[in-house]
Amino acid sequence: MTAAPPPGPDWPALLRDFYGLPPGTRFTAPGPGRHVLLQVTPPEGRALFFKGRAEAAEDAGAGLAGLAFQDHVARHGGPAPGVQRGRGGALMLCGGQGAQGALHDCLTGRPATTDPADAEALGQALARIHALGDGWSGAADLPCATRATLVDLPAARIRGALDVGFDPELRGLIAALGDWIDGLPRGRGVFGPCHGDSHYENAACDGFGALCFYDFEHAVRGWRAFDLASFIWGCFRQERGAQTWNAFMQGYGAQRPLSEAEATWIRPFLVVRQLWWLGFNAGAEGPLSDKMQARLTQGLGFVTHLADQVGAREAMARPGCPA
């Protein structure tokens, strides 16, 4: 007879202590299969939902979130929350790292700002996640980034959603990006556990004043340059200036220096990120709204412009980049 697993951490007590939640805060856990894993309701009655998913494919991402969160707590204060077992033996942080984000934005913390000090701290935080991931035993459980997941599938979703063909220039660019990704090395350091969606909308400052990323829903084993490109892409999209992403890169490089080749990869990955984001939105369940159709059409038109703006084609042709 298999012994019963030990009881998990007392999540309500840990969260209440760490975030200074007021007395009377209620915690409820919805049923399995729901996107919300834990609901927090302070006395004033405003419900806060911890973002996360219960599907098995998401468990490893939650495990990486737990690893990053425990390291964050150890470095900046507060009780370590621990982790509990998810399905298939994967580690799961209760509510996912998105739980921290919900509390940041609604209770004791604040969103990250474009101030260079915040951007630099976020660069350091992402470098720390990458460094932790290099030695993480759960890395093999993460889905793997490939040409198919980053380029081919997103492009197919966009075509299906808009019911249009791509012009020759765009088709050629997409094919070139796919071939380039096929040739990228996957060595330790340049390739490993990644946040997968590292931009300002998934970053916040906790109640202790420390910056961090949350929402590891798209965590993968992939190229770290894609994570860096995701942040810079977010700055482009939200019209944040070069001062912001330069400070971010300075913070990242202070923790994890980049090789010249890896820094070059960021340029093509900016275009890949735009395609991936469009494909993610195009793959939403149900018919697309007129607003989303317009957003996809406009975003698709921006792909070749972005490639020209950042010199993606030239970067793919540089020595140290695959042909």
Bridge partners (DSSP) of residue 203 are 213
Q: Are 213 and 202 in contact (CB under 8 A)?
A: yes
Q: Are 165 and 185 in contact (CB under 8 A)?
A: no
pLDDT for 103 equals 32
pLDDT in tens, the chain (323 residues): 344 433 344 545 655 554 455 666 665 544 443 333 344 454 544 344 344 433 333 445 656 766 676 676 667 654 433 333 332 222 223 333 333 333 333 333 467 788 899 999 999 989 998 998 888 887 888 899 999 999 999 999 999 998 888 999 999 999 999 999 999 999 988 999 998 999 987 777 654 566 777 667 788 999 999 999 999 999 988 778 889 999 999 999 999 999 999 999 999 999 999 999 999 989 866 678 888 889 899 999 999 999 999 999 999 998 666 64
Q: Where in the chain are the domains?
A: 1-108, 112-323
What is the spatial distance between Cα 224 and Cα 192, in angstroms, rounded to a whole number? 7
What is the spatial distance between Cα 161 and Cα 164, in angstroms, rounded to a whole number? 8
DSSP state at residue 201: G
Bridge partners (DSSP) of residue 213 are 203
Q: Are 96 and 215 in contact (CB under 8 A)?
A: yes
What is the spatial distance between Cα 188 and Cα 145, in angstroms, rounded to a whole number? 15
**Residue 31, token pair as written in the block:** 């049923």
Q: Are 302 and 294 in contact (CB under 8 A)?
A: no
pLDDT for 271 equals 98
Concatenate the DSSP letters of all residues of 165-200 into one string.
PPPHHHHHHHHHHHHHHHT----BTTEEEE-S--SG
Q: Tell which residue, 72, 68, 36, 30, has the closest CA to residue 216.
A: 68
pLDDT for 26 equals 60
Span 112-323 CATH architecture: Alpha-Beta Complex (3.90)
Separation in Å, CA 243 to CA 3, 117, 239? 56, 11, 11
Concatenate the DSSP letters of all residues of 276-302 into one string.
HHHHHHHT-SSPPPHHHHHHHHHHHHH
Concatenate the DSSP letters of all residues of 4-26 into one string.
PPPPPP-HHHHHHHHHTPPTT-E
What is the spatial distance between Cα 38 and Cα 10, in angstroms, rounded to a whole number? 13
Bridge partners (DSSP) of residue 28 are 39
Separation in Å, CA 284 to CA 149, 167, 226, 287, 306? 16, 24, 22, 8, 24
Distance of CA 182 to the CA centre of its chain: 22
Q: Tell which residue, 127, 121, 139, 68, has the closest CA to residue 258.
A: 127
Provide the 10 A C-beta neighbour count for residue 78: 17
What is the spatial distance between Cα 122 and Cα 102, in angstroms, rounded to a whole number? 18
Which one-letter amino acid corresponds to residue 192? Answer: G
Q: Directed axis angle between helix 290-310 and helix 153-162, to 10°?
A: 140
This prediction's pTM: 0.76
Reported residue count of the chain is: 323
pLDDT for 230 equals 96
Q: Tell which residue, 15, 154, 161, has the closest CA to residue 78.
A: 15
Bridge partners (DSSP) of residue 27 are 40
**Residue 166, token pair as written in the block:** 């791509």
pLDDT for 192 equals 94
What is the spatial distance between Cα 279 and Cα 153, in angstroms, rounded to a whole number? 7
